[in-house]
Amino acid sequence: MSVALSLTFALGLPAVVGWNLLALAAGQFPRSPFGWAGRVANVVILGLGIASLLAFALLLAGRGVGPSFRAADAGVFFVAAVGTIRWSRRARAEDVPPATFLEKAALAVLVVALGFALWRFAVTAAVMPHGYWDAWEIWNRRARFIFRSGTGWWGAFGADVKGAEYPLLLPITVVRLWAYAGETTAVPVLVAAIFALTILLIVVDRVAEQAGTFPGAIAGLVLLGTPGFQYWAALQYADLPMAAFLVAAIGALTASERLDAAARWRRQLLAGLMLGLAGWTKNEGIAAAVITALVYSVSAGRRNGFRASLRELGALAAGGGLPAAAWLVFHFLLAPALVPALSTGQSAATLLSKLGDADRWSIVIWGLLRRSPGSEIGLPVVAVVLALVLGARPMALVRSPPLWIAVLFWLSMAVVFVVSPIDLRFHLGTAGDRLLLQAWPLFTLGVFGAIGTQGRGVREPAPRRLGRAHPA
Binding residues (CB under 8 A) for another protein: these are 102, 105-106, 109-110, 112-113, 116-117, 119-120, 123-124, 127-130, 132-133, 136-137, 140-141, 144-145, 148-149, 152, 155-156, 158, 160-162, 214, 217-218, 220-222, 224-227, 229-231, 234, 377, 379, 382, 386, 389-390, 472
C-alpha to C-alpha distance for 6 and 32, rounded to whole angstroms:
30
Coil vs helix vs strand at 93: strand
Q: How far is the CB of 130 from another protein (least distance, A)?
A: 5
Residue 163 to residue 137: CA distance in whole angstroms: 9
Residue placing its CB nearer to another protein in the complex, 28 or 149: 149
CB 280 within 8 A of CB 326: yes
- Helix/strand/coil for 109: helix
Considering the complex, state which of residue 160 and residue 260 has its C-beta at the smaller distance from another protein: 160
Cα gap 212→412, rounded to integer Å: 32
Least Å from the CB of residue 269 to another protein: 35
To another protein, the closest distance from the beta carbon of 413 in angstroms equals 23
Q: Shortest Cβ distance from residue 159 to another protein (Å)? A: 10
Minimal distance, residue 44 CB to another protein, in Å: 23
**What are the residues whose beta carbons fall under 8 Å from the beta carbon of 12, sequence distance 6 or more?**
none
* Closer residue to another protein, CB minimum distance, 187 or 300: 187
Which residues have CB under 8 Å from 127's CB, separation 6+? none
Residue among 123 and 458 whose Cβ is closer to another protein: 123
Contact 56, 280 (CB under 8 A): no
For another protein, the closer of residues 226 and 268 by Cβ is 226
Q: Is the dihedral of CA 288, 289, 291, 296 positive or negative?
A: positive
Measured distance CA(357)–CA(355) in Å, rounded = 6
The smaller minimum CB distance to another protein, of residues 78 and 119, is found at: 119
CB of 141 to another protein, least distance (A): 5
Measured from the CB atom, the residue of 161 and 414 that comes closer to another protein is 161
- Whole-number minimum distance, CB 292 to another protein, in Å? 28
From the CB of residue 31, how many other CB atoms can be counted at a distance below 10 Å?
A: 13
178: number of Cβ within 10 Å: 23
Shortest Å, Cβ 21 to another protein: 32
Select 7 or 156, whichever has its Cβ closest to another protein. Answer: 156
Contact call for residues 138 and 163 (beta carbons, < 8 A): yes
Distance CA 449, CA 31 (A): 19
Q: What is the dihedral of CA 164, 427, 223, 469, to 10 degrees?
A: 90
